[in-house]
Amino acid sequence: MSPRFAPNNDDSATQMNQSRRRFLLGMGALTAALAGCSSDDDQEANDTPTDNTPTDDTPTEDTPTDDPSTDSFAPASDLPYGQWLTTNQSGLFFAYANLDNLPENGVTGSNGSSSPPLDDPLALYPLVIGGAAVGVGQLSLSFAGLAQAVSSQATSDSTVSEVTVTNRVIIAEGSFATDQLHERLTEATDQTFGVAHEQTGTVRGYDQYEPVEVPDSVNDPPAVAVADETVIVGPDISRLEQTIAAGDGNQPRIFETNENATELLKEAGSGDLVVGQFGSATSEQLFGDFQPNTEPQFRPRSGENMVAAVNFDASGDTFESQFALAAADLGEDRKEEIEMSFGTAALDNSRSVDVSTDRITATGTYDVEQLSEDTPDQELSQAAAAELVPPDTLKFQYEPPRSESGLGQLWVTVTEETEAAAIRLEADSGGGNEFQPQDGPIRAGANIVAPVDPAGDVVTVFAVNDQGAAGKLVTQSVPTDELSETTASQAVPEDALSFSYESPDAGNVGELTIEVVTDTEADTLVAQPQEGLRAFTARAGSLNSDEPVGAGTTLETGVEPEGDEVLVYATVDGATGEVARWEGPE
């Protein structure tokens, strides 16, 4: 299940970057990767479902444990994610997050950098790897129409409270409007990246959906299983059924085939953010191109099984990190490495590291402020930010919502090469987004979009350097006032626009070209198809330009040939409204 997106800025990606829990360490690359990630061709072979017999690659123990400390511990019932921990030939990589208990302002500091200053693998490893795994899981939930269910900026009839990732399967638990999700899944809309699913059956109380209509920009979309309190997203129906069976107790779980797993889960498996690795399964198999930017300092070696967890105090002031690792024989260098580095930044008297021949456990308590980067040397002056991205190289365009209950969008385009590592948008209404390329600074032509309140909003643009320091560039009011019919007709006369349509040679998307044949008084023009993906919207002009949209300008947008409307909006002096409408080919 490796989505490959064409280079565009889909509003589903925007919704994912509005995450309700902005805690994901190392996920700065996610925004950029959304615009063009590739599949991992090796994953499928590594994740083939097995029959229920452990293989040579799956860690097993021939004799039951005699450790009385695990006798009263039942992972399936004592851990909120325990029932889902089924395994396969590669063993198990898993992550879990209780979204309701994670800090609202994130654990990376309010400036959003992906490299926190905390230099301690006991805390950093579960935050980086667990957070990134759950972030990729949240992205995958967009295929089920659940992008807004993990966003605080948009209302949703469904809510996601907990996310569990097991190898390449994502389990979301909460409360789900199944009828609404059925409509989203079975229609090819921008809410599901243009993928349409077909309901193919019902198994153990779950409605199952398989992709039947897939745009060229998406590679290997997932299958989905939906119930009132659980939604499962995975590579195929077989994996979904395996996961559902594990949840019901009809499929072996890792702790039922490996006593080692039970002990590790008991020692370090409880928390608001948990990550674990057993056998040869690795986080890289899940992440693919979504690799965390932050190096977590520690990674399990071959033959090491581990569980790590972070638990945030109810006050939000501190968090505790727990870690447990087991191996047949830990070398002296490995024991020394962990003993010397784990817990070094923990609060006084909270650090505990216990090292033996085949087991290491560690705990430590940390002040949440240790994760904050809001220090003077992490803030750029406005002048320093302008050296990274000159404000006059930014172009602004506003796109109204496509429904009465939707959000508008403010698009920012960079017109020249920059020295910035990232650009961030923050709306007064609470929405935001950050664009951070994986392979260098922000280049000319880069687009970033923020969701905005159509009742009125203001967006601030920040430049971010390669150390994560951010500085304010400019503030832009969103032109949400209503444009009167008189002003609209004067600014863009009826004969100012010429429409020409070309039927598709292949595929199912035609092309509409709108040419501006006379000068207008519009600051911007936006051509918005009503049926096709929002990514097809075309824009011209800029809100901060002294020059209005002139003759010779063209806008090109994709439209559904079966029937589509394209609305053309103009912004004039801080007000936006419809100036033309194309109602399909004659």
Separation in Å, CA 290 to CA 11, 95, 381: 19, 15, 31
Q: Is the pLDDT of residue 135 over 60?
A: yes
> What is the torsion angle, in degrees rounded to the nearest 10, for the CA atoms of residue 6, residue 8, residue 14 and residue 17?
60
Helix (H, G, I), strand (E, B) or coil at 130: helix
Q: Is the pLDDT of residue 111 over 70?
A: no
How does residue 462 score in pLDDT terms, banded at 50, 70 and 90? very high
> What is the torsion angle, in degrees rounded to the nearest 10, for the CA atoms of residue 213, residue 216, residue 222 and residue 223?
10
Instruction: Return the H-helix or E-strand segment holding 338.
Output: helix 332-341
pTM of the model: 0.64
Q: Is the pLDDT of residue 208 over 70?
A: yes
How does residue 458 score in pLDDT terms, banded at 50, 70 and 90? very high
pLDDT, the chain, mean: 80
pLDDT top residue among 88 and 335: 335
Q: Which among 225, 213, 218 is positioned nearest to 144, based on CA atoms? A: 225
> What token pair was written down for 162?
């907990």
Q: What is the pLDDT of residue 116?
A: 54
Q: What is the pLDDT of residue 44?
A: 37
Q: What is the pLDDT of residue 214?
A: 85
Q: Is the pLDDT of residue 349 over 70?
A: yes
Q: Is the pLDDT of residue 155 over 90?
A: no
Q: Is the pLDDT of residue 223 over 50?
A: yes
Residue spans of beta strands (DSSP E) within 386-518 = 394-399, 408-414, 422-427, 432-435, 447-452, 458-464, 470-477, 481-482, 497-502, 510-516
Average pLDDT over residues 310-336: 89
Average pLDDT over residues 291-314: 80
Q: Which residues, in sequence order, are CB contacts of 369 under 8 Å at separation 6+? A: none
CB 267 within 8 A of CB 259: no
- Surface-to-core class of residue 501, CB atoms within 10 Å of its CB (0-12 exposed, 13-18 middle, 19+ buried): middle
Q: What is the pLDDT of residue 11?
A: 36
CB 1 within 8 A of CB 404: no
Measured in whole angstroms, how far is the alpha carbon of residue 8 from the centre of its chain? 16
pLDDT top residue among 147 and 45: 147
Average pLDDT over residues 126-131: 87
Q: Is the pLDDT of residue 476 over 50?
A: yes
Buried residues in 81-111 as b, exposed as e (16+ CB within 10 A): bbbbbbbbbbbbbbbbbbbebbbebbbbbeb
Instruction: Return the H-helix or E-strand segment holding 541.
Output: strand 538-541
Q: What is the pLDDT of residues 371-391, one digit of tens each?
A: 765 444 468 899 999 999 999
Average pLDDT over residues 318-324: 95
The percent of residues in the chain predicted with pLDDT above 70, rounded, is: 79
Q: What is the identity of the amino acid at 434?
A: E
Other CB atoms within 10 Å distance of the CB of residue 481:
15
Q: Which among 82, 92, 83 is positioned nearest to 54, based on CA atoms? A: 92
Q: Is the pLDDT of residue 555 over 50?
A: yes
Q: Which residues, in sequence order, are CB contacts of 258 under 8 Å at separation 6+? A: 58, 59, 60, 61, 278, 305
CB 190 within 8 A of CB 215: no
Q: Lowest-pLDDT range, 152-156, 319-323, 336-340, 530-534?
A: 152-156
The percent of residues in the chain predicted with pLDDT above 90, rounded, is: 49
Residue spans of beta strands (DSSP E) within 15-121 = 92-98
Beta-carbon-side half-sphere exposure of residue 266 (alpha carbons within 13 Å)? 14
Q: Which residues, in sequence order, are CB contacts of 447 under 8 Å at separation 6+? A: 9, 411, 412, 413, 414, 435
Q: What is the pLDDT of residues 210-219, one digit of tens each?
A: 999 887 767 7
Q: Lowest-pLDDT range, 48-57, 430-439, 447-456?
A: 48-57
Q: Tokens 């939930």 belong to which residue? A: 141
DSSP state of 18: T
Helix (H, G, I), strand (E, B) or coil at 169: strand
Q: What is the identity of the amino acid at 140?
A: S
Q: Tokens 């994996």 belong to which residue? A: 239
Q: Indicate the pairing of strand 554-559 with strand 510-516.
A: antiparallel
> What token pair was written down for 214?
């897939």
Length of the chain: 586
For residues 582 and 567, give the distance between their C-alpha atoms in angstroms, rounded to a whole number: 7
Q: What is the pLDDT of residue 295?
A: 54
Q: What is the pLDDT of residue 3?
A: 34
Q: What is the pLDDT of residues 15-30, one digit of tens each?
A: 333 332 333 333 333 3
For residues 269 and 100, give the distance between their C-alpha atoms in angstroms, rounded to a whole number: 18
Buried residues in 7-27 as b, exposed as e (16+ CB within 10 A): ebbbbbbbbbbbbbbbbbbbb
Q: Which domains are assigned to the chain?
A: 11-371 (no CATH), 376-478 (2.60.40), 485-582 (2.60.40)
Q: What is the identity of the amino acid at 231?
A: V
Q: What is the pLDDT of residue 292?
A: 54
> What token pair was written down for 135?
């972030």
Q: What is the pLDDT of residue 58?
A: 39
Q: Is the pLDDT of residue 69 over 70?
A: no
Q: Which among 301, 307, 203 is positioned nearest to 254, based on CA atoms? A: 307
For residues 465 and 444, give the distance between their C-alpha atoms in angstroms, rounded to a whole number: 16
Helix (H, G, I), strand (E, B) or coil at 314: coil
Q: Lowest-pLDDT range, 231-245, 289-303, 535-549?
A: 289-303
Q: Which among 306, 279, 309, 319 is positioned nearest to 360, based on CA atoms? A: 306
Maximum mean pLDDT: which of 52-56, 74-78, 278-282, 464-468: 74-78
Maximum mean pLDDT: which of 283-292, 344-353, 561-570: 344-353
Other CB atoms within 10 Å distance of the CB of residue 494:
8
Q: What is the pLDDT of residue 506?
A: 62
Q: Is the pLDDT of residue 45 over 50?
A: no
Q: Is the pLDDT of residue 230 over 80?
A: yes
